[in-house]
Amino acid sequence: MDLFIGLDLGGTWLKYGLGDGDGRLLTRGKRPSEGQRGREAIFGSMINAVKELLGVAKEWGEVRAIGVGSPGLVDYQRGILMGGAPNLPGWEGADIRGVLEREFGIPTFADNDANVMALAEARLGAAREAKQAIFLTLGTGIGGGILIDGQLYRGAWFAGAELGHTVIKFDGRPCNCGNVGCVEQYASAPGMIRTYWEILAAKGMSPPAGLTTEQIFARAEQGEVEARKAIEDTAYYLGVALASFVNIFNPEVIVIGGGVAEAGDEFIRMAEQVAVRLAQDVATRGLRVVRASMGNEAGTVGAILLAVESYATLVSG
Amino acid sequence: MDLFIGLDLGGTWLKYGLGDGDGRLLTRGKRPSEGQRGREAIFGSMINAVKELLGVAKEWGEVRAIGVGSPGLVDYQRGILMGGAPNLPGWEGADIRGVLEREFGIPTFADNDANVMALAEARLGAAREAKQAIFLTLGTGIGGGILIDGQLYRGAWFAGAELGHTVIKFDGRPCNCGNVGCVEQYASAPGMIRTYWEILAAKGMSPPAGLTTEQIFARAEQGEVEARKAIEDTAYYLGVALASFVNIFNPEVIVIGGGVAEAGDEFIRMAEQVAVRLAQDVATRGLRVVRASMGNEAGTVGAILLAVESYATLVSG
């Protein structure tokens, strides 16, 4: 049987799995990514994960390719990290393909983690069957993915699909990226928390320390109006960005994942209503806005699918 | 010789031309579009234009297809106007393909006018050779076009590429589309004029009546600080939207046409500088922001190219 390895690199954990040509997981694991200890340590963790999976793979068949999802801007063609991974110091410039291919002699493909998750949702998850789709992951930041005619769209130099850095208010909150008013500053977890803080501060109330979005959702559930307003405002900001994406892409489906979205369908429904009200009517008629369905395995399964599809392209010429 | 007819429908004029398979214009003309007199009158004007061109075509060869660029949202697959053409009352629902095919028995293809102009720039103009490109036409509104892997991207139901309705300030100026803060309200001709008015009003100066963007550029040229500031602000607003498009699409080239852009390269350079400063570094490295180069013929040539390429797809299966 043809087997494929997927590595899902994060700031804290490296998740990994072995799958078949349909992206079915045969086994999976997780170990510290060593993200704070520099490039060599991260590669060490990845190499140990691959060795472990190669050991398991022997009884099943042969590993044809390795797929890697990494934070930051990844040059998909060369498999090199071009930048934008602040949680992995020293990782910029990492030659993911080169190092793993030299180590294992197995074709290796790397892509942005948001693209890899989008691939999992596109092939096996919430956007299955869709040709034109948009993917957002609302977490510490906002990751983006774009499906065009059934394929991931990466841009001229693989730096596209940074949907979190779409401006929704040019005189708004400064963004880490150097721009101002990116939707990431409004609809990510820190964005929602900041909105909640501002609502409390405007009423002379002092915000609690170490707040999470889960707590904001719980407070709203208990009837706290400030928490409720923070959620509504965040859904509105997200809806504004979705309206722009609808006008730009006219997608069949928008898939929303990540911690903020997992809090419940109601948040997604609120954002959808805003988007449908603000976007051009014709573009919203068949639109579906849905939660991501692949859960915690999206990154690993997506990395396996990246390996499967990239390998198929490689061998077909 | 295989010949192709292009019709470029506007609110006031219908421009039309006869071209060869490379989009070279052999002859062209222009007549009132009868845009205010309803659907039958518009079709009458189009039919007369085609008859005129068919008469000319006889000496050259055979007309294989007709291409039509129309304001509004056009269902490219069916050749029907789905909506969004406020300057052409009664035009919504017009079966462009059906009416012209029944009249002439020649395969007819219709698309949004901004898409058709983008096609002309992509094949013969400022984005020649580019695979990933973005097109904006700054006029009474803002038209948009998206080139992905060398092909126009139209969205799941042909309602995409409405780049003018990308929000840049969610609490900003109300837009005709029902949304708030679309870039069309800031970087179109009326948007620039409004910005100039606001600058004058803030200084207690009364704005002149019937002002055009040409006059604002002329006043800035003469050293008027308020006009200068209106141009700089407009370039900034445009640059903000360009930065979003760069982060989303990572295009090789952004082509800007229309009245506001024709005022000069300096305006484009200002907007480009803003975009390069605000967008992700990696995505701006090879980026070019250029003026449209096809001028007044972009619509007619684009409609001919629409006919050429759609006909080729038709006969190839």
How does residue A47 score in pLDDT terms, banded at 50, 70 and 90?
A: very high
User: So what's the pLDDT on residue A317?
Assistant: 73
Name the DSSP class of B139: S
Distances in Å between the alpha carbon of B30 and those of A295, B16, B89, B299? 58, 6, 20, 12
Domain ranges of chain B: 2-118+296-315, 128-293
Please state, as a whole number, how many other Cβ atoms lie within 10 Å of the Cβ of residue A197.
Answer: 17
Question: Which tokens in the block code for residue B249?
Answer: 């699409």
B168 and A170 within 8 Å at the Cβ level: the answer is yes
Q: Which residues, numbered 270 to 299 in chain B, qualify as contacts with chain A under a Cβ-Cβ cut-off of 8 Å? A: 277-283, 285-286
Look up the pTM and report it.
0.96
Determine the Cα–Cα distance for residues A286 and A277; give it in Å rounded to an integer.
14
The residue-averaged pLDDT of A48-54 equals: 98
pLDDT at A8: 97
Give the ranges where B125-161 is alpha helix by DSSP (H): none
Return the structure tokens found at B263.
């005022």
Best probe of the B interface among A146, A169, A170, by most B CBs < 10 A, is A170
For chain A, helix, strand, coil in percent to 5 are 45, 25, 35
Q: Which positions in chain B touch A131 (Cβ < 8 Å)?
A: 156
Helices within chain B (DSSP H only): 39-57, 96-104, 113-124, 184-187, 189-202, 213-221, 225-249, 259-262, 265-278, 281-284, 298-315
CA A218 to chain centre: 25
How close does chain A come to B30, measured CA to CA in Å?
A: 31
Q: Which burial class, exposed, middle or buried, applies to A54 when counting CB atoms under 10 A from its CB (0-12, 13-18, 19+)?
A: middle
- β-bridge partners, B147: B133, B152
Q: Which amino acid is at B254?
A: I
Show which of residues 84-103 on chain B sit within 8 Å of chain A, judged by CB atoms. Answer: 84
Q: And the tokens for B183?
A: 């870039």
Q: How far is CA B175 from CA A55, A284, B181, B185, in A?
A: 60, 18, 7, 6
Backbone angles phi, psi at A115, to 5 degrees: -65, -40
- The predicted pLDDT at position A264 comes to 76
Q: Domain B2-118+296-315's class?
A: alpha beta
Q: How many CB atoms lie within 10 A of CB A208?
A: 11
Q: DSSP label at B17?
A: E
The residues near B43 (Cβ < 8 Å, ≥ 6 apart) are B94, B99
CATH fold label, B128-293: Nucleotidyltransferase; domain 5 (3.30.420)
Residues of B in Cβ contact (< 8 Å) with A80? none
Phi, psi of B85 (to 5 degrees): -130, 70
Instruction: For residue B317, give Cα distances in angstroms to A49, B111, B158, B164, B313.
Output: 48, 20, 21, 34, 6
| 3 state SS of B66 | strand
Of A303, A317, A314, A313, the residue nearest A113 (C-alpha): A303
pLDDT of residue A154: 96
Query: Does the pLDDT at position A309 exceed 90?
Result: yes
| Tokens at B156, concatenated | 């799941």
Question: Of the candidates B73, B241, B278, which has its C-beta nearest A282's C-beta?
Answer: B73
Q: What is the mean pLDDT of residues A240-249?
A: 98
Tell me: pLDDT of A162 over 80.
yes
- The C-alpha atoms of residue A287 and residue A253 are separated, in whole angstroms, by 6
- Residue A30 backbone dihedrals phi, psi, to 5 degrees: -160, 140
Pick B159's closest partner by Cβ from A161, A240, A280.
A280
Chain B, residues 168-187, CB within 8 A of chain A, namely: 168-171, 177-181
Report the CATH superfamily, name and number, of domain A129-293: ATPase, nucleotide binding domain (3.30.420.40)
pLDDT value of position B249: 98
The dihedral region occupied by B11, where left means phi > 0, alpha psi between -120 and 50, and beta the remainder, is alpha
Place A259 in a pLDDT band, splitting at 50, 70 and 90: confident
Residue ranges, chain B, pLDDT below 70? none
Q: Please name the residues between 4 and 63 in chain B that touch chain A, using a CB distance below 8 Å.
A: none
B150 close to A (CB below 8 A): no
Q: A306 and A3 in contact (C-beta within 8 Å)?
A: no
Q: Rounded to an integer, what distance in angstroms lies between the CA atom of residue A193 and that of residue A190?
A: 5
The whole-angstrom separation of Cα B219 and Cα B192 is 13
Per-residue pLDDT band at A66 (split at 50, 70, 90): very high
Tokens 């009416």 correspond to: B99
According to the model, what pLDDT value does residue A192 have? 97
Q: How many CB pairs under 8 A join A and B?
A: 157
- Contact residues for A205 (Cβ-Cβ < 8 A; gap 6+): A226
What ipTM was assigned to the predicted interfaces of this complex?
Answer: 0.96
A115-136 pLDDT, tens digit per residue, is 999 999 999 999 999 999 999 9
Q: How distant is the Cα of B248 from the closest Cα of chain A, in angstroms?
A: 5
> What average pLDDT does chain A have?
95
How many other C-beta atoms are found inside a 10 Å radius of the C-beta of residue A82?
22
Cα A230 to Cα B76: distance, rounded to the nearest angstrom: 42
Residue A101 pLDDT > 80: yes
- Same-fold call for A2-118+296-315 versus A129-293: yes
Map tokens 């139901």 to a residue.
Answer: B157
- Residue B53 to residue B72: CA distance in whole angstroms: 25
The DSSP call for residue B295 is G
| Closest residue by Cα to residue A162 from A202, A200, A118, A122 | A118
| B250 contact residues in A (CB cutoff 8 A) | 154-161
